[in-house]
Amino acid sequence: MLSYINVNWFSLPAQAYCELGIIEFEMNNTDKAIDLLNKCINDYTGYMNENYVHVKAFATLRRLGLYTEKQGIDDQKLI
């Protein structure tokens, strides 16, 4: 049995926030959707299927006509 649990191995919280964000988007609750999607992108990193979750979140934000806070930070690093 594992003597410790590395929370970075588990993606359930990030996936849950992503799916809730998508549901809020489909219910036209734009502000809540943006908050949840940004939370799943910015607050959770280092888990195995991070790319999958982030692609879903980014795609939904793009459908809202937005880019994420993280993209803005990444753009600043390129300058």
How is the chain split into domains, by residue range?
Answer: 11-78
In the chain, how long is the greatest CA-to-CA distance? 47
- pLDDT score for 8: 55
Task: For residue 49, report the phi and psi dihedrals to the nearest 5 degrees.
Answer: -105, 35
pTM over 0.85? The answer is no
pLDDT band at residue 74, thresholds of 50, 70 and 90? low
Q: Classify residue 34 as left (phi > 0), alpha (psi -120 to 50) or beta.
A: alpha
